[in-house]
A and B are shown apart, each in its own frame.
Chain A
Amino acid sequence: MQLDDVLHTFIAEARELLEQMEESLLRIEQSPDDPDLIAAIFRAAHTIKGSAGLFGLDRMVSFTHVAESVLDKVRNRELRIESELAALFLGVCDHLGVLIDHVAENREPDADTHKAGEGLVSKLSVHLGQLPQADAKTHAPVEHTASVEHAASAEVGGADTDNWHISLRFDRGMLRLGMDPLAFIRYLTTFGEIRHIVTLTEAAPSLPDLNPEECYLGFEISYHTEADKATIEGAFEFVRNDATIRILPPHSKISEYLRLIEGMPEEELRLGEILVRCGTLTQAELDDTLRRQAAGGEAPKPIGEVLVEEHIVLPRVVEAALDKQKQVREHKAAENSLIRVNAEKLDEHINLVGELIITSASTALFAQRANMPDLTEAAARLSRLVEEVRDSALTLRMVQIGATFNKFQRVVRDVSAEIGKDIHLEISGAETELDKTVVEKIGDPLTHLVRNSMDHGIEPAEVRLAHGKPIHGTIRLNAYHDSGSIVIEVADDGGGLNKERILKKAIERELVKPDQPLSDQEIHNLIFEAGFSTAEQVNNLSGRGVGMDVVRRNITALRGSMEIDSAEGVGTTMRIRLPLTLAIIDGFLVGVGGSSFVIPLEMVVECVELTAEQTRAAHGRNHLDLRGEVLPFIRLKDLFEIPEPPLPVIDPEDDGFMAGISALPGSAQNSVILTAEGAAALAADPDLAFILHPVKRENVVVVQYAGHRAGLVVENLMGEYQTVIRPLGQVFNGLQGIAGFTILGNGLVTLILDVPGLVKRIARNEDRLNAKTAYLLTA
């Protein structure tokens, strides 16, 4: 069997439904009587069963059917979902997930799966068995439950047959409505087998009295199927109002057949015989039935029997039909508002938008050169539109992180049960959006971090009590946007990282030298080293093959970074920082020497002029006093060893030059924010133009990443520039400080700066310097 598109849709939908079901189950533990949640769980199970039936996935249908029967009782307030039942249904979810995986992989479930399924079914059946009258309503067409129910119903006088019994009496006007009873019977044969059929022709008059356009036929059918009652009822959906339809499940009580016999217009004995002929009843059973009938209803009536009385059965049929219609409608509505698109098509679309951006940039450039106002204006409009197209194209790929977060409800629940700690999960920022590919890849690292926090972070209850903390631990998942990145935090209110222990271990493993000065941050980061694990940290939970080093590698592969905040006794926060988008950025174009670079605009905080005064004040160290704060900076010219352009250059360290600059009134000392426009304005002013012209000026672009600020010293600020990141080839893999390249409108290639890398580098230098100073001072 080839997997076709429809089956794929089914699999995708079923998985979604299972997710919803799981989510509802986790929430229902808090509010067990919420009718919406109960309805949601029931609907998920019901829809999965229905769709599975369409694909002939009998095992899934029969399994789900049992679960649905129990849920039906929950819905009818006969059962309450307590934690035990919720756990059982979570198991059901898992099992269904396994079954769906099997379908997706197109292979038969193995013996273990069967065993697991049967185990769950028998547990579910216990809940079904609690209230005996449920037997009459819910007859699962499953072998294992059938035996249970059979045993139960035999006590109250069930018939021996495995077959359903269907009685059909059509209204006279049926044929005129274009309905052919034969068609319905034929339809029945598509999902079951008609064991016996008796056509009732008595109602048909002789030829002269016959109205050829009226229907006189009736049928008694003994029918064998794995499908459930709703499916059989569904077969007659169109004639519900134009026919009398009675469907008796296998092993129905004798009294129900009696009721059937009484309810039909035919002579009782005749119908009784028909039932025998159909094989639905044995002669003995019929005799018993008729005897009971003769006894005039003295036989005790079980509650289930009452339900079958016509005025109760019919509303049920109607309800089932209405339910189905509503589902169809809901389904339609959902289909209308969502379109499933192949991710590849989306990627292609975004690539094209990328090309469009480059082309529009070059159009703008040429328009400017051509010096035609109309063309310039048109190009500006084009750029703006392209920008909008880009934004909307990118949002197509954006999904909320909430769904990923919610999965952890289950993880936390299971793990806390496993390790015997009472741990709550708090989720915030669930509506934060990020790229779909990132979401897909973040799941595993997050799982590891959460499990890690639960296992190592949160202390045992006694320790918590001793420290005056609430007895239940809390794991917090949080997400937010921060200067062009998305930040995902996994926080716990546990014991925090033990610096001494980490350091000791690191020295043991020769990861650091004993006398090496390290900042707190550096010590914390040691846990990301490959093979790093303190003895206390090894147990079954960590044995998942994903160490912290692997977590970090996964994050780095997404162009992201990780950091740890930890305070002993208070808790640990693991912070993952990921780029919001993977392909297109707003860039800020700067020039150094003869080269130009693009800095991601989202990370640019401000631009400041670097005066010679400040350079001198730094005493050769790369620091700047930015409104009273220390700002470390790095000269791109030095970093990339860019040669001086062949221009007459005045050495900025030259004393005479320095004197000239410091003589300038005001502006230079006051950290002027200098934009490209500002520079242009300066150039236009004859009094000030000399500042720009003969002297090579330096500007500091202040960038921020992960809470660290740093300055990048450049010469020219050329303004905002929309650009597509293109990855560098393998050859440039080792290149530091460069994230990729892009093509400018004029066809020149420009490198994109790796701001996170640069900021980290600057910050690391700072930390090391500080630690060293502190070390030297204390020593």
Chain B
Amino acid sequence: MTKKAVSHCIAIAGDFTIVNAAAVREQLLAAVDSTEDIEVDLSDVTEIDSAGLQLMIAAKRHVADKKKSLRFIGHSAAVLDALDLIDLAAHFGDPVLLHSRA
């Protein structure tokens, strides 16, 4: 095996919107380049907009092209709400149950 970490975890906190979309894209690109298996923790996302959702879609598409894997985990209420609104939850195939914080 290479020295590359098998699993890499990125946490996105606060905004996941047009405001920081460019930065998050860089972060995701870097992670996909360096890691086979990526987890993106969304539990601290307080706000998400179309730009954020698009990034999620594009990231999934990117790892599919590279034959790697990327999972979104710990969807916060804001993310769940947005996914629910435009009925995209199924698109990602990630378990989207709200984790109990207890």
| A residues at B contact (CB < 8 Å) | 175-176, 180-183, 185-186, 189, 194, 196-199, 201, 204-208, 210, 212-213, 215-217, 219
Residue from the set A183, A194, A206, A207 with the largest chain B CB neighbour count within 10 Å = A207
| B91 is an interface residue with CB less than 8 A from chain A | yes
Q: Which of B17, B32, B86 is A207 in contact with, Cβ under 8 Å?
A: B32
| B62 is an interface residue with CB less than 8 A from chain A | yes
Residues B61 and A208 in contact, CB atoms below 8 Å apart? no
Q: Provided the pairs A185-B85, A185-B86, A186-B85 are in contact, do residues A175 and B62 lie with their beta carbons within 8 angstroms? A: no
Residues B82 and A182 in contact, CB atoms below 8 Å apart? yes
| B residues at A contact (CB < 8 Å) | 17-18, 21-22, 24-25, 28-29, 32, 49-51, 53-55, 57-59, 61-62, 65, 82, 85-88, 91
Residues A207 and B21 in contact, CB atoms below 8 Å apart? no
- Shortest Cβ gap from A738 to chain B (Å): 76
Q: Provided the pairs A182-B49, A186-B85, A199-B88 are in contact, do residues A207 and B59 lie with their beta carbons within 8 angstroms? A: yes
Residues A175 and B51 in contact, CB atoms below 8 Å apart? yes
Q: Which of B24, B29, B61 is A205 in contact with, Cβ under 8 Å?
A: B61
A-B contact pairs, 5 of them (CB 8 A): A197-B85, A207-B32, A208-B29, A212-B22, A215-B50
Residues A212 and B51 in contact, CB atoms below 8 Å apart? yes
Is the contact region of chain A dominated by helix, strand, or loop, or is it mixed? mixed
Q: Provided the pairs A201-B91, A217-B53 are in contact, do residues A212 and B24 lie with their beta carbons within 8 angstroms? A: yes
Residues A204 and B62 in contact, CB atoms below 8 Å apart? no
What is the chain A residue whose CB lies nearest that of B86? Answer: A199
Residues B25 and A182 in contact, CB atoms below 8 Å apart? no
- Shortest Cβ gap from A117 to chain B (Å): 36
Is the contact region of chain B dominated by helix, strand, or loop, or is it mixed? helix
Q: Which of A185, A196, A199, A207 is B29 in contact with, Cβ under 8 Å?
A: A207
Residues A207 and B61 in contact, CB atoms below 8 Å apart? yes
- Shortest Cβ gap from B15 to chain A (Å): 12
Q: Provided the pairs A215-B50, A217-B50, A217-B54 are in contact, do residues A206 and B86 lie with their beta carbons within 8 angstroms? A: no
Q: Provided the pairs A196-B87, A207-B58 are in contact, do residues A212 and B25 lie with their beta carbons within 8 angstroms? A: yes
A182 to B87, CA, bound (A): 12
Q: Provided the pairs A186-B85, A199-B87, A207-B28 are in contact, do residues A215 and B54 lie with their beta carbons within 8 angstroms? A: yes
A198 to B87, CA, bound (A): 7
Residues A180 and B50 in contact, CB atoms below 8 Å apart? yes
Residues B85 and A204 in contact, CB atoms below 8 Å apart? no
Residues A210 and B55 in contact, CB atoms below 8 Å apart? yes
A422 to B28, CA, bound (A): 85
Q: Provided the pairs A182-B82, A199-B86, A207-B28 are in contact, do residues A212 and B54 lie with their beta carbons within 8 angstroms? A: yes
A196 to B82, CA, bound (A): 15
A-side contacts of B24, CB under 8 Å: 212
A208 to B59, CA, bound (A): 9
Residues A197 and B87 in contact, CB atoms below 8 Å apart? yes
Having A180-B50, A207-B32, A217-B54, one finds 20 other A-B pairs with CB under 8 Å, namely A175-B49, A180-B18, A180-B49, A181-B50, A186-B85, A189-B85, A197-B86, A199-B88, A201-B91, A204-B61, A207-B28, A207-B29, A208-B29, A210-B25, A212-B21, A212-B55, A213-B21, A213-B22, A215-B51, A215-B54
Q: Provided the pairs A182-B49, A215-B54, A217-B53 are in contact, do residues A207 and B87 lie with their beta carbons within 8 angstroms? A: no
- Shortest Cβ gap from B91 to chain A (Å): 7
A195 to B65, CA, bound (A): 33
B-side contacts of A185, CB under 8 Å: 85-86
Residue from the set A176, A204, A215 with the largest chain B CB neighbour count within 10 Å = A204
Residues B57 and A213 in contact, CB atoms below 8 Å apart? no
